[in-house]
Amino acid sequence: MREKSPYDLRASARGIYGFFEMMTAPPKILAKFRLNGDEIECAFHPNKTLLEVLREDLGLTGTKHGCEMGHCGACTVLVAGEPVLSCLTLALECEGSEIETVEGLARGGNLHPLQHAFTTCGAAQCGYCTPGFLLSAAALLQVNDQPSNAEIKEALAGNLCRCTGYTKIIEAVALAAERMHESSDA
Ligand code: FES
Ligand code: FES
């Protein structure tokens, strides 16, 4: 019989922990949100973060699970138009709020200008950080359609990327801003 690898042991530990968590979790509650433009009602354990509810209860896995400590920004979503770290936010706190995730950026089958610009500029490599960057940038462009590079850097300061070196991400946000500004003038 094959010896257990550290991965097997870790998987068993996770299973035991998951079972214990399930047995001790408080009863589910029902809450209403406006999620990506739709009114929804969702049942979840009240000790769950917004990140956990989005991914595990609503199946929206576009929001990424990174450090879970508020350091990486991979879990960024918009709550009432403001970027929020969903790993540090209880879902219950957002009851009744407007929540936007990366799944809601494309509208009517058309990518958001930021998504187009990330593609044009090659601003995503592994892509793990991309949803968080897109949401932070979308929040910036909602209030400032002609941001300077310094303003873009400041808006994205809470988002970490291990692959791109940031230059292309900043270029992509500037390009999206330019295109959005031009189309609003047209
Ligand atoms: S997963 Fe939320 S900040 Fe890293
Ligand atoms: S593209 Fe890989 S972490 Fe940013």
Per DSSP, the residues of 157-183 read TT---SSS-SHHHHHHHHHHHHHHHHH
Do 57 and 87 lie in one domain? The reply is yes
130 in a structural domain: yes
CA of residue 11 to ligand 2 center, whole Å = 26
**Based on the domain organization, do 33 and 100 belong to the same domain?**
yes
Per-residue pLDDT at 22 exceeds 90:
no
Q: Are residues 71 and 118 in the same domain?
A: no
Q: What is the DSSP secondary structure assignment for residue 100, as one 8-state letter?
A: E
- Residue 95 falls inside a structural domain: yes
Question: In this structure, are 83 and 66 located in the same domain?
Answer: yes
Question: CATH no. for residue 154?
Answer: 1.10.150.120
pLDDT value at residue 24: 74
127 lines ligand 2 (CB under 6 A): yes
pTM of the predicted structure, to 2 decimals? 0.88
Q: Are residues 33 and 84 in the same domain?
A: yes
pLDDT classification of 26: cutoffs 50, 70, 90: confident
Domain boundary (46, 72, 104) is at 104
Kindly report the average pLDDT of the chain as a whole number. Answer: 92
Range of the domain at 61: 29-104
Q: Are residues 47 and 91 in the same domain?
A: yes
Residue 158 CA: nearest ligand 1 atom is 3
What's the confidence (pLDDT) of residue 185?
Answer: 76
Boundary-marking domain end, from 104, 125, 145? 104
Q: What are phi and psi of 180, to 5 degrees?
A: -70, -40
For the cut 80, the answer to whether the pLDDT of residue 70 exceeds it is yes
Q: How many domains does the chain have?
A: 2
Segment 28-51 mean pLDDT: 97
Rounded Cα–Cα distance for residues 53 and 91 (Å): 7
> Is the pLDDT at 158 greater than 70, yes or no?
yes
Is residue 82 assigned to a domain? yes
| The pLDDT value given to residue 108 | 87
Task: Assess whether 74 and 128 both reside in one domain.
Answer: no
Same domain, residue pair 77 and 144: no
For residue 170, pLDDT over 60 is answered with: yes
Question: What pLDDT band is residue 11 in, cutting at 50, 70 and 90?
Answer: low
Distance CA 74, CA 26 (A): 27
Given 59, 86, 104, which residue is the final one in a domain?
104
Q: Is 124 in the pocket of ligand 1 (CB under 6 A)?
A: no
Q: How confident is the model at residue 25 (pLDDT cuts 50, 70, 90)?
A: confident
Task: Indicate if the alpha-carbon torsion angle 114, 172, 130, 79 is positive or negative.
Answer: negative
- Looking from the CA of 62 toward its CB, the CA atoms found within 13 Å total 16
127 and 76 both lie in a single domain: no
> In this predicted model, what pLDDT tens digit does every residue of 74-112 receive, in sequence order?
999 999 999 999 999 999 999 999 999 999 999 888 999
- Helix 130-143 / helix 167-185 crossing angle, nearest 10 deg: 40
